[in-house]
Amino acid sequence: MAADIFTLGIDVGSTTSKCLILGNGEEIISSAIIPAGTGTSGPGRALEAALSEAMLSRQDIAAVTATGYGRNSFEGADYIVSELSCHAIGAHAMFPDAKTVIDIGGQDAKAISIENGKLGSFVMNDKCAAGTGRFLDVMARVLELDVSELAEKDAMAGRVIPISSTCTVFAESEVISQLSKNVDICDLVAGIHASVAVRTASLVRRLGLTPPLAMTGGVAQNAGIVRALSKELGEEISVSPLCQLAGAYGAAIHGFNKLKGRK
Amino acid sequence: MADLSTMIAGLKAISPKEELKKAVSAGKKVIGIMPYFCPEELVYASGMVPLGLWGADMQANESKRYYPAFICSILHTVLEMGIKGKLNDLSGIMIPASCDSLKSMGANWQYGVKTVPVINVSIAQNRKIPAGKEYTASQFKKVRDELSKISGKEITDEAIIDAIKVYNENRKALREFSFLAGKHPEAISPADRNAVIKAGYFMDRKEHTKAVLAISAELASLPESSFRGAKVVTSGILADSPSLLKIFEDLHIAVVDDQIAHESLNFRTDVPIIESDPIMGMAERIAEIEGCSVLFDPGKKRGQELVKLAQDAGADGIIWIMTKFCDPEEYDYVPVKRMIDKAGIPLLAVEVDRQMVNYEQARNAIEAFSETLC
Ligand code: SF4
């Protein structure tokens, strides 16, 4: 049966805007990812792109739910919900068995526990860029790579060169000094991933490591990080091709649930 | 309701800077009181004016010559104000040694702020045993003598007893207010609640008591609350940041009780009146206080207290307001969290700092936490 209730979730992140339209709370009709975050044209463009792919107009959408760092400045939202709740709902929809979700975004990293399909408790790294997407951006730039190339380099690593600094700025100079020793870049990338994994694993342990684990957020697209994290935690981690859209997905589900009067 | 908001606005308008100026121009001497649990009653008994010093929301630069950047912002900003001459009108400053960072505050102040003399305050670590109480009382007596020198007049036991009564009445009024504020979040926002309590650090205590009683009378006459948001108990050192409290308000979160050093911990316990030795009564109060990270608490009763506060107030959760770089609070957090988890009460810790300008991360965490409570 064709969908008759459309809900839209928009995740206005610090560096990227993600939008997803859902039919009857289940079927993904369209989605868009625009690499421009809060305070830019990104959110508007993501919304337009998702609507046009779905061949719908704003009037066809029964509920718009905004989430993410820039959720409060997004105009026209019917509901505003934190990204922690939305990632929990989105991850649950993708992996109904998952109990713990790791979300590494552009500015922060979070470990989230899912209870009854919703956000249970959470631990955030809100102190610095280390262990976040920003850290990987900085490191990729130093290595003259695009972040999208990191996973591929990691897969070719023969060993892991440890990066001991816990601060992005110091880690950057540590990487530069390794580069000056002519080490293999692939090994260095594996080391960078391992250092992110160690930091993220500590968040998960603070929350309480309860498998099954899933990972959401843009950084989950990097198979090197997922591998390093899985090794560090000694657990399998499920990742969906839609990982970057988990927040928007959760937001769209939230909107549908609200319309249906569900909690 | 107009009356209530006018009364609260009156207390919100109290400025420590103005109060200091007013007192000095009226020919009174003013003594700065740093946290924690200084014998403020003695200042009152001396006829001088006590002024609470819990730091300010400002950037600290000069203080970094004396303290490294990783010392809490309460100390940095008090020292900064001192170095910049903003507290030159004080006739003295009471500085206790309640934590590792405060231990060097007295010496830093002496070097950095030559104009205002330090009155060191010591409280026994083993504050509950007879020898500990005796030690605390003996130290408070030294403080009394130093205050006598500054004021130029003897501080009699009668005057101390009178001051204790004034402070006990103020504490009682604040306890009642805190209870009623918890029952009427629709009328008292978290920022209002804090402002009513905070004003006491700068006002004459009798005047403050009068103002608090008037507010409580209004609250008591209100019909049962229609508030539907989340109810929390806060715990920590200080929770007076307007930006933080605005987040609570925006998210419809009510503070129904607290275990904050700057708030209830300062008025939950009265001083017993001991006619023959009133200062010993003040030491007895120190022995009785529970739930504060800077007062030795080997069994971590703080955890049980906090659980009970939350249960008694019907709170949905607890928000631990962690003052950045405060090691006593960080040490307490781990065992206390275990007790709260065991009791099945949702808990969130948010880190705050007097120099913080961006509260987005805190908002994010508090918003997500409140979503789990509803
Ligand atoms: S107890 Fe904590 S907040 Fe208070 S002065 Fe010491 S370090 Fe600062």
Name the burial class of residue B337, with classes exposed (0-12), middle (13-18) and buried (19+) by CB atoms within 10 angstroms of its CB. Answer: middle
A63 beta partners = A7
Is B265 near ligand 1, meaning CB less than 6 Å away?
no
How do residues B176-185 score in pLDDT, each as one tens digit? 999 999 999 9
Q: Provide mean pLDDT across the span A130-157.
A: 87
Is B72 near ligand 1, meaning CB less than 6 Å away?
yes
The C-alpha of A113 sits at a distance from chain B's nearest C-alpha, in angstroms, of 11
Is B294 near ligand 1, meaning CB less than 6 Å away?
yes
- C-alpha A171/C-alpha B298 separation (Å) is 40
From chain B, pick out residues whose CB is under 8 angstroms from the CB of A83: 364, 368
Closest to B267 measured CA to CA, from B365, B211, B218, B198: B198
Average predicted confidence (pLDDT) for chain A: 90
Q: Which residue has the higher pLDDT, A25 or A108?
A: A25
This model of the complex carries an ipTM of 0.80
Residue A170 makes CB contacts below 8 A (sequence gap 6+) with: none
Place of tokens 């990104």: A42
Distances (CA, A) of B229 to B190, B311, B316: 12, 17, 10
Tell me if B368 and A118 make a contact (CB, 8 A cut-off). no
From chain B, pick out residues whose CB is under 8 angstroms from the CB of A77: none
How do residues A104-118 score in pLDDT, each as one tens digit? 887 788 999 999 999
State yes or no: pLDDT of B147 exceeds 80: yes
Contact A218, A243 (CB under 8 A): yes
The C-alpha of B146 sits at a distance from chain A's nearest C-alpha, in angstroms, of 44
- pLDDT at residue B237, rounded to an integer: 97
State yes or no: pLDDT of B280 exceeds 90: yes
State yes or no: pLDDT of B108 exceeds 70: yes
Q: Provide mean pLDDT across the span B281-305.
A: 95
Q: Which domains does chain A have, with CATH numbers?
A: 6-90+244-262 (3.30.420.40), 98-239 (3.30.420.40)
Q: Compute φ and ψ for A42, nearest 5 degrees.
A: -50, -55
Contact B55, B73 (CB under 8 A): yes
Contact A166, A70 (CB under 8 A): no
Residue A131 DSSP SS3:
coil
Q: Provide mean pLDDT across the span B198-220.
A: 97
Pairing of strands A6-12, A17-23: antiparallel
Average predicted confidence (pLDDT) for chain B: 95
Place of tokens 């924690």: B36
Q: Which residue has the higher pLDDT, B213 or B1?
A: B213
For chain B, first and last CA: distance in Å? 28
State yes or no: pLDDT of B172 exceeds 80: yes
Q: What secondary structure letter does DSSP report for A110?
A: E
Q: Provide mean pLDDT across the span B319-323.
A: 96
Query: What percent of chain B has pLDDT above 90?
Result: 92
Tell me if A69 and B365 make a contact (CB, 8 A cut-off). no
Q: Which long-range contacts (CB under 8 A, 24 or more apart) does B241-244 make?
A: B241/B57, B241/B352, B241/B354, B241/B356, B241/B359, B242/B57, B242/B191, B243/B356, B243/B359, B244/B321, B244/B350, B244/B352, B244/B359, B244/B362
To the nearest 10°, report the CA torsion of B3, B7, B8, B11.
Answer: 170
State yes or no: pLDDT of A23 exceeds 90: yes
- pLDDT at residue B217, rounded to an integer: 96
- pLDDT at residue A130, rounded to an integer: 67
Which residue's alpha carbon is nearest to atom 6 within ligand 1?
Answer: B99
Query: What length is written for chain B?
Result: 374
- C-alpha B278/C-alpha B286 separation (Å) is 13
Q: How confident is the model at residue A263 (pLDDT cuts 50, 70, 90)?
A: low
How do residues A34-65 score in pLDDT, each as one tens digit? 998 888 899 999 999 999 999 999 999 999 99
* Interface test with chain B among A14, A65, A69, A84, by most B beta carbons within 10 Å: A84
Tell me if A84 and B368 make a contact (CB, 8 A cut-off). yes
How do residues B16-69 score in pLDDT, each as one tens digit? 999 999 999 999 999 999 999 999 999 999 999 999 999 998 889 999 999 998
Least confident stretch, A39-43, A132-136, B343-347: A132-136
Q: What secondary structure letter does DSSP report for B36?
A: S
Window 98-117 of A, Cβ < 8 Å to B: 108
- C-alpha A256/C-alpha A6 separation (Å) is 8
Contact B319, B369 (CB under 8 A): yes
Name the burial class of residue B348, with classes exposed (0-12), middle (13-18) and buried (19+) by CB atoms within 10 angstroms of its CB. Answer: buried
> A119 at the B interface (CB within 8 A)?
yes
Q: How confident is the model at residue A129 (pLDDT cuts 50, 70, 90)?
A: low
**Ligand 1 pocket test target in B297, B326, B333, B355 with most atoms within 8 Å of CB:** B326
* Interface test with chain A among B252, B348, B361, B363, by most A beta carbons within 10 Å: B361
Q: How confident is the model at residue A171 (pLDDT cuts 50, 70, 90)?
A: confident
Measure the CA angle with vertex B72, ends B71 and B76; round to 5°. Answer: 80
Distance from the alpha carbon of residue B297 to the mean position of ligand 1, in angstroms: 16
Q: How many CB atoms lie within 10 A of CB B132?
A: 18
> A50 at the B interface (CB within 8 A)?
no
State yes or no: pLDDT of B175 exceeds 60: yes
From chain B, pick out residues whose CB is under 8 angstroms from the CB of A126: 351, 361, 364-365
The b-or-e profile of A157-173 (16+ CB within 10 A means b, else e) is beebbebeeeebeebbe
- pLDDT at residue A126, rounded to an integer: 61
How do residues A195-246 score in pLDDT, each as one tens digit? 889 889 989 998 999 999 999 988 899 999 999 999 999 999 999 999 999 9
B319 beta partners = B234, B348
Distance from the alpha carbon of residue B54 to the mean position of ligand 1, in angstroms: 10
Residue B87 makes CB contacts below 8 A (sequence gap 6+) with: B20, B32, B53, B81, B93, B113, B116
Closest to A229 measured CA to CA, from A131, A128, A145: A131
The shortest CB-CB distance from B371 to any of A81, A108, A124 is to A81
Is B306 near ligand 1, meaning CB less than 6 Å away?
no
State yes or no: pLDDT of B2 exceeds 70: no
Distance from the alpha carbon of residue B326 to the mean position of ligand 1, in angstroms: 5
